[in-house]
Structure 1
Amino acid sequence: MRFLHCADNSKPNLDDKAWKLRPFIEKLKAKYLQHYQPEKHMSYDESMIKYYGRHPCKQFIRGKPIRFGYKMWALNTTSGYLVNCELYQGKNSLRHEVYEKDFGKAAAPFVSMLDKLKGEKERPYELYFDNLFTGLNLLEHLKERGYQGTGTVRENRMAQNCPMSDKNLSQKRKRDIQGTIEKNQVLW
């Protein structure tokens, strides 16, 4: 295995922490996109690849089932097919600075993955993601491209003038509804 190389060791790209595997990763991603059969519904989320050795890309995330390993941003279909992915490296040379400025560091790879999809014009994608990625800028951008986006929004990402009910009131209302359901179940 020590003689197997994916990149030329005499020409390292020190800005890319995965430079030794980058040609192999790019070929895999090209094959994923080549064999992808467009589906209407797709999700974008982070995924952990278990790894306990030493590497500058290794992450530790407390409270996750896989706490040590590589974090990957992944775009998947509902059947579980990996359409595209990107290794999280922290600060790296491959990032799209305009997208980072507009959508944040977590959602920027998502938008650049959407740029690479085939059949984009004829397929109105419905995209799902969690609150790490959701922001008004991203949702507006998806709408402009003809996509639908669904995700929960963190309170600190909402505009100040956006009317929202108080979080404490909604939790109290939820408890009241749950209590009413429990009382009705006792009666029956």
Structure 2
Amino acid sequence: MWKDMDEECLDAYIGVLLLAGVYRSCNEATDSLWDASTGRNIFRATMSLQTFRMISRILRFDNRDTRARSDKLAPIRDVWEKWVQLLPLMFNPGPEVTVDERLLPFRGKCPFRQYIPSKPGKYGIKIWAACDAKNSYAWNLQIYTGKAASGIPEKNQGKRVVLDMTTGLQGHNITCDNFFTSFELGQELLRRKLTMVGTVKKNKPELPAEILQVKDRAPLSSKFAFTDTTTVVSYCPKKRRNVILMSTLHKDAAVSSGSDKKPQIILDYNKNKGGVDNLDKLTATYTCQRMTRRWPMVVFYNMLDVSASAELTYHSVHIISNTKSIFAGDLLSQPCLNTNQTSHSWNPIQAT
């Protein structure tokens, strides 16, 4: 006999999912969680296995009859957007923020499923993320739903994503990889009182020719180029190989005293680049996800995973700081550079 599911029943269902994640039971058969001999009493005491499976099968996040057919995210958009709006309210990120992409593994039918061979799951739902670099708190998230209906690829997508993900932040440094980094992005972030550190693709037209040259470069050597607002460094870890980074945070040619002689820009980038990756590791280890063929459920499970991670971060930070929120204002007190410059002319190269 069917009956309406009340709030208490939904809370119980979510609690069971989260508890399964705590037990790291993602790959454990659902039957075994409720088994009298191999399972755990708390699952059977909360709800029956039949009830759990029924809710998992029928749970929906919108009205199919009234959804916008042109909106690929319509089956979960309302719930997703309301949830994302809550994330910045719980925690103010520290001075270092990482922007990167995430991939929720999923091989079922989805109108915007992506293939990213560098990711462990390869196929899945791509999510842009802005996380605190230190504790990987997810401050902002955005699902990528693929190309527009016209089929025309989005121009300057990396720049647009970073600006979207960092809306509302001031006084922070943004770390991102070469998909996002550009001179124009750095200037726009400076106008918003944000700085940037990131790797750069070697085909960027704004890079000076001297930075790209690797012939006759000694291993562990660095070349720097400067404008009034931006620093670029080319570092050669080995012969005929170089890595290029751009920064609006660093203003000199500082190099570490270690044996590898890495520039300070690279050291800071390596320190902060893993904010989103660490969130992926944490949510993958303690995920509450169950087997499903419906992509909205995959998104829902990840919302619970990220929420659990956010709750742990919130409480740990408040306990450490005696219930005081962390506010990132270290960079706000620094004078903002003049960002009206439009020239890409670089000052003489410095080699170390």
1:21 equivalent among 57, 66, 76: 76
Distance 1:50 1:141, change over 3 A: same
Is the 2:61–2:76 contact (alpha carbons within 8 Å) kept by the matching residues of 1? Answer: yes
**Residue 175, structure 1, aligned to residue 238, structure 2:** yes
Structure 1 unaligned blocks of 5 or more: 94-99, 182-188
Range with bigger deviation, 28-37 or 160-169: 160-169
Distance 1:15 1:162, change over 3 A: farther
1:144 equivalent among 191, 212, 225: 191
Aligned to 2:206: 159
Structure 2 unaligned blocks of 5 or more: 1-54, 220-235, 240-258, 260-352
State the secondary structure of the residue aligned to 2:73. Answer: coil
Distance 1:57 1:77, change over 3 A: same
Is the 1:15–1:92 contact (alpha carbons within 8 Å) kept by the matching residues of 2? Answer: no
State the secondary structure of the residue aligned to 1:124. Answer: coil
Aligned to 2:138: 82
Q: CA deviation at 1:10?
A: 2.4
Is the 1:136–1:158 contact (alpha carbons within 8 Å) kept by the matching residues of 2? Answer: no
1:135 equivalent among 182, 196, 199: 182
Q: CA deviation at 1:55?
A: 0.7
Aligned to 2:274: none
Q: CA deviation at 1:171?
A: 7.7
Task: Give the AA of the match of 1:87.
Answer: I
TM-score with structure 2 setting the length: 0.43
TM-score with structure 1 setting the length: 0.76
Task: Give the AA of the match of 1:14.
Answer: R
Question: How far apart in 1 are the matches of 2:81 and 2:96?
Answer: 24
Larger radius of gyration: 2
Considering only aligned residues, what root-mean-square deviation do their CA atoms show, in Å?
2.4
Q: CA deviation at 1:63?
A: 3.2
- Structure-to-structure mapping, 1:1-188, within 5 angstroms: 1=55, 3-78=58-133, 79-92=135-148, 104-115=156-167, 117=168, 120=169, 123-159=170-206, 163-170=210-217, 174-175=237-238
Distance 1:56 1:41, change over 3 A: same
For CA contacts below 8 A with separation 6 or more, give which structure has more relative contact order. 2
